[in-house]
Structure 1
């Protein structure tokens, strides 16, 4: 069962999080709490995001106005990792012949990418 935290609990649990900072993160839609009859409810993922946001701003001295972009990039990376994990599972379920063809295509694509300078 998911665990939810109230605003006061979040403020107590996250180092260096203040009420104005929390409101700014919510206003910037970096964190989106659930609306409940008792007020905003925060999930475990919100707790982790808020701690990361405070660490990025305070420890790594990232300007707070850059945090939405940084978190968007982190979200995109996490989505891509999940997609890659699902793709790897799907490929692993295929017969050896299909996996071999996929490996051949990937090797070819890597060579073409290196030769044309389109890789990173």
Structure 2
């Protein structure tokens, strides 16, 4: 867990006010501990993502929520697919083979 000032220090031109705005906009959701925000690993990665979107990719502020929403959907889909894959792996061999065959058929032109 890191405090707000420690997160800001990791990025050359990120100001406390800007990161505070990101939190207030709901783009980052750190835990609140007394008067301080505590940023866990996921929060820190999200700050880095938003920083890259804004600074390196030039994504406009009003577009950031849409980009974050789409990325959140991609991450959720990846987690769901991983769970489906794990569930299939726990099935008997004939079920796994049937699923593999169905996926191969679906990919065929």
Query: Structure 1 length normalisation: TM-score?
Result: 0.79
Q: Where does the alignment leave 5 or more consecutive residues of structure 2 unmatched?
A: none
How many pairs does the alignment contain? Answer: 109
Q: Where does the alignment leave 5 or more consecutive residues of structure 1 unmatched?
A: 115-120
Please tell me whether residue 68 in structure 1 is matched to residue 65 in structure 2.
yes
The whole-number CA distance in structure 1 between the counterparts of 2:2 and 2:25 is 20
The whole-number CA distance in structure 2 between the counterparts of 1:99 and 1:88 is 10
Out of 82, 85, 88, which is 1:88 matched to? Answer: 85
2:6 corresponds to which residue? 9
1:118 corresponds to which residue? none
The whole-number CA distance in structure 2 between the counterparts of 1:85 and 1:27 is 32
Please tell me whether residue 44 in structure 1 is matched to residue 41 in structure 2.
yes
Greater relative contact order, per chain length (Cα 8 Å cut-off, separation 6+): 1
2:23 corresponds to which residue? 26
List structure 1 runs of 4+ shifted beyond 2 angstroms. Answer: 103-111
